[in-house]
Chain A
Amino acid sequence: MLALQGDVREHVRSLTAVGARASAVRRAADLDDVDGLVLPGGESTTISRLLEVFELLEPLRTHVAEGLPVYGSCAGMVLLADEVLDGRPDQQGVGGLDVVVRRNAFGRQVDSFETDLPFAGVGDVHAVFIRAPWVETTGERAEVLARVPDSGGRAAGRVVAVRQGRVLATSFHPELTGDDRVHGLFVDMVKGASS
């Protein structure tokens, strides 16, 4: 669990509920002790700056490139995208997901919402979007897992969950709902990677 800033506690609760043991990653050496990593919701600009200041960015890129399973929600998705629109020009990401993500794509906080949507391999989930990003374009290597349903107005059809190999990302926050199936999917990915 990357624990620099954001909703770390909620992810730890979800991970624990699906049988994983969660520990805090705050420095590069901590990365050697984990089988998978979650990048929480939070402010992507803040997390990105802290990753640089505390010399975590390069080690994290290396671990993800070498196959460390990683899941990012919201800000975590922004950090994992190979390209970010509407971010800060100097914003540094981790990368690993062959997608273009638009930051704060749904609008400001007054536009934040919750809705139900079908999630491939999981079933219907209740999704909470908070100043959320969406996936603008999906590269060949990334698989779409969920989209905003038709009832979602101008955002209908937008891609909001993707997977590429051992990298999983959602625009929304399963950790805020008490439904831990998406974390269950990630823990299965981690088990698959280490077996």
Chain B
Amino acid sequence: MSADSSPAPAPSLGTDRVKRGMAEMLKGGVIMDVVDAEQAKIAEDAGAVAVMALERVPADIRRDGGVARMSDPDMIDGIQAAVSIPVMAKARIGHFVEAQVLQAIGVDYVDESEVLTPADYAHHIDKRAFTVPFVCGATNLGEALRRIAEGAAMIRSKGEAGTGDVSQATTHIRTILGEIKRLTVMDETELFEAAKLMSAPVDLVRETASLGRLPVVLFTAGGVATPADAAMMMQLGADGVFIGSGIFKSGDPARRARACVEATAYFQDAERIAKVSRGLGEAMVGISADSLGAGELLATRGW
């Protein structure tokens, strides 16, 4: 957020401030993957700050294989009609027409997501060309800053979606925040070198160093399955949490959704986390990210 308050004569849409500001309003909250209106209602009832509309949760995409694409607009419409909270939807990496379609049907945020099969193995979407804001995944600071340079208004650490294994989410949020910490003690010459090594614009590197955080909101994603997982991400320094397969692949989604919302809000209160963790039923079965072959990892998609 810059402190620039220069007057605009007429209302301006789709400015950086409006796009990034939208994500600021989601902080301290949980964004849940949903595949139909019924799940969206459960998420809203539980206190989710937004829902991510998609055809299959990542665990099913992983199981079914094949090409994963943007959802049917009818299905997204159904979810928009069912809830009053923001509705996000995923476009394939580099698929700018899927993003145009999502903007046309009025989704509140587009996730240019590695969970879907990439449409372009060299380029990401030019997100500055859109009114709708974008969230993008990142595994390290350089990747996050490249996405922001392309116009992303929110970043989520990638983790490894559809596994229920939080280890990769931990690695990625620690990596991003650790790299930011190191920037804050660098002098001007070192910042230039850091920008070069990260293939990131030096202006964004300087801004991040002086803020001591990303210039946009940073959520975490990919493997969060329990209230304790969510609270751990918050204690590590995330602004909020995406939960994909973890809610609706578990035994009692409504209850688990509520528990994750409460653990995210009161992430420093172990007694409350203990209370909401009781009797939640089965968590999603999960796959250890360690057992996946290189070709099965989603986090390596994005360039």
Contact B22 A45 (CB under 8 A): no
Closest to B262 in A: A53
Contact A42 B21 (CB under 8 A): no
- In the complex, chain A residues 16-73 whose Cβ is within 8 Å of any chain B Cβ: 26, 41-43, 45-46, 49-50, 53-54
Contact A109 B49 (CB under 8 A): no
Contact A109 B262 (CB under 8 A): no
Q: What are the residues of chain B within 8 A of A171 when measuring CB–CB? A: none
B73 at the interface (CB under 8 A from A): no
Q: What are the residues of chain A within 8 A of B109 when measuring CB–CB? A: 109
Q: What are the residues of chain B within 8 A of A110 when measuring CB–CB? A: 13-14, 103, 106, 108, 131-132
Count contacts on B: residues with CB < 8 A to the other chain. Answer: 47
B12 at the interface (CB under 8 A from A): yes
Q: What are the residues of chain A within 8 A of B291 when measuring CB–CB? A: none
Chain B CB within 10 Å, residue with most, of A6, A104, A130, A178: A130
Contact B2 A49 (CB under 8 A): no
A179 at the interface (CB under 8 A from B): yes
B149 at the interface (CB under 8 A from A): no
Complex CA–CA separation, A53 to B258 (angstroms): 10
Contact A152 B11 (CB under 8 A): yes
Complex CA–CA separation, A75 to B29 (angstroms): 14
A6–chain B nearest beta-carbon distance, Å: 6
A183 at the interface (CB under 8 A from B): no
B169–chain A nearest beta-carbon distance, Å: 20
Query: Which of B10, B86, B265 is in CB contact (< 8 Å) with A115?
Result: B10
Interface residues of A (CB under 8 A from B): 3-10, 26, 41-43, 45-46, 49-50, 53-54, 74-75, 86-88, 103-104, 107-116, 124, 126, 128-131, 151-153, 173, 176-179
Extra inter-chain contacts (11) besides given A43-B29, A50-B262, A108-B107, CB under 8 Å: A88-B84, A109-B22, A109-B86, A111-B13, A112-B13, A113-B11, A114-B8, A115-B10, A115-B11, A115-B12, A130-B25
